[in-house]
Structure 1
Amino acid sequence: MTFGSDRGIRVTSTVTHRENRLSTIEWSSDHIQHRADWHSENGAPAPRIVTIADDRLSADRAYRRIKAGEALLWRGDYNNGRQLLAALGRRADRTRTKQPPSGDLGALYQHERARKRARANVLGNLLIQLDADNHLDLPRAPDVRAACTAAYGRAGAARIVTFSELLGVLGAYRWQQQGVEVPALGARIHPGYGVFSPTRSEYVDLVADAPLDPEVRTAFDLGTGTGVLAALLAQRGVSEVVATDITTRAIRCAKDNAERLGYSGVIAVTGPALYPPGRADLVVCNPPWLPGVPTSDLERGVYDHDQSMLTDFVHGLRAHLMPRGEAWLVLSDLAELLGLRAADYIPRLLDDAGLSVMGKLTTRPRHPRATDRDDPLAVARTAETTSLWRLRPR
């Protein structure tokens, strides 16, 4: 990595690449040696050119330098840095790209995702440095130590992250502290950083309303996330729930919520795996709804790479259901509406796995984006339905 200079600030640096795609950045400024680890939640490599920047840098100049390939390590006022980040976002939004025809929803979706990725790439070039104790040493900076420790763990060394990632960490920490009200549960769920929040209540309501055999004693909740569906099953009287996930953040979050709700004696959280050992009377899975490659822990709740989780869930059911057991697949049809998945894909997948559909509960989304007419994908979002498929081996 090369550090540039701004208004007489002279900086040199070297980057030492370590295991797990980490980099250590070392530089000197005013004859003082500095060292920090590079950290990116989406796995972005350390930028090749970095310039120290402060309050003297205008948004136009910052944007031009970023577009020219520089990243900016912010050493100015914290609030001014936030304003600069917002200004960079506005400039990125003004970049015009050719939009596909409105009737081609699949192309529109890919266009929107590419546009958001390009915007994120611009914002991801404004950087900040956290000290070894997760302290942010900038004028008027808030105390970010608790939020960063909750998201990243204890550092032990200084690290450089993007300013936008830090704001995401702070926002997630507020949600974690306050919790999200889940009406079907009659309680609050506390999502951790990088864990998909249960703000879309329709899939929770489907699990709350689905007919549950009173003989069901054991259940698996696959891809539990915050543990909201595991908690709902425990509330409905299932005496033994095993919840699984593939990320350590989700496992930790689900355990925390089970304890908060008083279900730690009923819900066992394990992983990283999709299926736990053994069989259950009921297996529930709410896989990511869109085929695609996730770029962070949070996106794992949205994008299912090669639809592997959906496929592994379906093909693993026969080996993990008790005789006369039942499975619930909770899934939106947004992928079908966008042309990302064939309309007959799920029926064929279920048939190939030797599963019968006992019934299907369907509801409409109620989140704000479902009624946002300014959304380029409004046609698909207003037609979207979420279904709970009741499955049983033939």
Structure 2
Amino acid sequence: MSVSPAPDAPARIHWSEGGADHSALWRSESGMPAPKKVVIANDQTPADTAYRLACEGTALLWRGDFQNARQLLQALARRADHKGKRAKAPKIPASPAEAFHLHRQAQSQRARTLAMLLIPFDADYTIPLRRAPDVSLACNEAYGRPTEPFVASLRELLGLIGAHEWRKNGVEIAALGDRIHPYYGVFSPIRGEYLELVNQAPLPANAKLAFDIGTGTGVLAALLARRGVTKIVATDMDQRALSCARENLHRLGFDDRVEVVKADLFPDGQAPLIVCNPPWLPGRPSSSIESAIYDPDSRMLKGFLGGLVAHLAAGGEGWLILSDLAEHLGLRPREQLLAMIAAAGLKVVARHDVRPTHPRASDASDPLHAARAAEVTSLWRLAAQ
């Protein structure tokens, strides 16, 4: 079993079935390589056997009833969670940073194991299994137009279906009095506390123009438009985010006031107000959706701070929306952030803080509970020195 040899060619998955060799296109939005070992599984495959094979790195290509595959995935998840709870003599982290890295390592291993249950797809996104749902819309939104049959993990498919429901139903944004509809792979604005910070912070007196750096769904641009900013230029590098923002702003009636452009951080020119909500944790994302959470070497944060003075109009402010979770995890000390601000020729005009209200902040069973319970989200109002 092997993946395709050409590094630039689409990855393929290979298996033997019915005495013949088979292959198909491999899809993984998280960038997981095509499994090298694949066996056929069906309704008679015991969950314990499936879990053992998955832990060993052997993928199971499903040929049974689709709903039974979902039940098997749940059984695999229960075994993975039970294994984590009964692990003998777990290592006691020496620091919050080590606890964070161990947590990510465990989550990554769990994700790899659960991703070993695979589902076949026909060229039109039909799943050739009994009682399989119609997933064509969800697949179109994530993968684009279909081209040929492929194989993907059931866990990824369920993520696509969940993202389709988020996109269809939207997320209620109290500050907007309306809904934002996130695309697959574009971070959903479910943390309402940071939106309230942007909604309540005093606008600079001359803020008729604003830049929204890394707009994502377009929610911050929409908030600024609703607050009366005449013109907003919203930037992003991700094509899904650009399309998502344009659709949301059109639906909200702001597309005549918000221009969505593809740019790495800043657009051309200067503005009296520039807002940015970069990923809050330094680290490497393991999937497209994690790019809104993890920022390798704080690249976006450093880029925003480093370019802010050159793009701020005289007397203008840059608004940095940032959680201090990285500080409580020992990943980026407050002193480092303050040094980055000063080195960029910036000063802190004011800071507006709010505590998170999401469930994890009060979940004592969360391995990172101490850091989450202490977390504060801030809107840093910055100006040129």
Query: Aligned partner of 2:255: which letter?
Result: S
Q: State the partner residue of 1:9.
A: none
AA aligned to 1:68 is: E
Structure 2 residue corresponding to 1:190, chosen from 172, 181, 192: 181
1:306 aligns with 2:297: yes
Task: Tell whether the 8 Å contact from 2:14 to 2:36 is kept in structure 1 after alignment.
Answer: no
Deviations 1:329-361 (A, max 9, x none): 000000001111112111110111110111000
Compared CA separation, residues 272 and 134, structure 1 to 2 (3 A): farther
Residue 82 of structure 2 corresponds to residue 94 of structure 1? yes
Match of 2:161 in 1: 170
Whole-angstrom distance in 1 between the partners of 2:306 and 2:106: 36
8 Å CA contact 2:271–2:313 kept in 1: the answer is yes
Contact 2:204 2:272 in 1 (8 A): no
Deviation, structure 1 residue 131: 1.3
The answer to whether the 8 A contact 2:163-2:183 is kept is yes
- Taking the aligned partners of 1:45 and 1:178, their CA distance within structure 2 comes to 32
Unaligned runs of 5+ in 1: 3-14
Taking a change above 3 Å as real, the CA distance of residues 328 and 126 of structure 1, as seen in their structure-2 partners, is same
- Alignment correspondent of 1:341: 332
Give the distance between the partners of 2:98 and 2:133, measured in 1 at CA.
42
Residue 11 of structure 1 is matched in structure 2 by none
Q: Find the partner of 1:76 among 50, 64, 67.
A: 64
Decide whether the 8 Å contact of 1:99 with 1:111 is kept in 2. Answer: no
- CA displacement 1:223-282 (0-9 Å, x = unmatched): 111110010011111111111112111111111111110111111112252111221111
**1:101: how far off?**
3.3
For the pair 1:256 / 2:244, whether they are aligned, the reply is no
Q: In structure 1, which of residues 105, 120, 123 is the aligned counterpart of residue 96 of structure 2? A: 105
Establish whether residue 234 from structure 1 lines up as the match of residue 225 from structure 2. Answer: yes
SS in 1 for 2:186: coil
User: Would you say the 8 A contact 1:106–1:339 is kept in 2?
Assistant: yes
Unaligned runs of 5+ in 2: none
Q: How far apart are the structure 2 equivalents of 1:113 and 1:245?
A: 27
> Paired residue for 1:148, among 126, 139, 150?
139
Question: What's the counterpart of residue 42 of structure 2?
Answer: 54
Q: Hey, what's the Cα distance between the residues in 2 that align with 1:99 and 1:33?
A: 43
What CA distance in whole angstroms lies between the structure 2 residues aligned with 1:67 and 1:345? 40
1:270 aligns with 2:257: no
TM-score, normalization by structure 1 = 0.93
Counterpart code for 2:253: G
- CA distance, structure 2, for counterparts of residue 21 and residue 203 of structure 1: 42
Stretch deviating more after TM superposition (64-73 or 333-342) = 64-73
CA distance change for structure 1 residues 21 and 116 in 2, over 3 Å: closer, same or farther?
A: farther
How many residue pairs were aligned?
Answer: 382
What is the letter of the counterpart of residue 136 of structure 1?
I
CA contact (8 A) 2:233 2:267 kept: yes
Mean Cα deviation higher: 376-385 or 160-169 = 376-385
Q: Note the C-alpha offset of 1:35.
A: 4.7
Q: 1:256 to 1:274 in 2, by over 3 A?
A: same
Q: Return the letter of the residue paired with 1:260.
A: R
Structure-2 residue corresponding to 1:372: 363
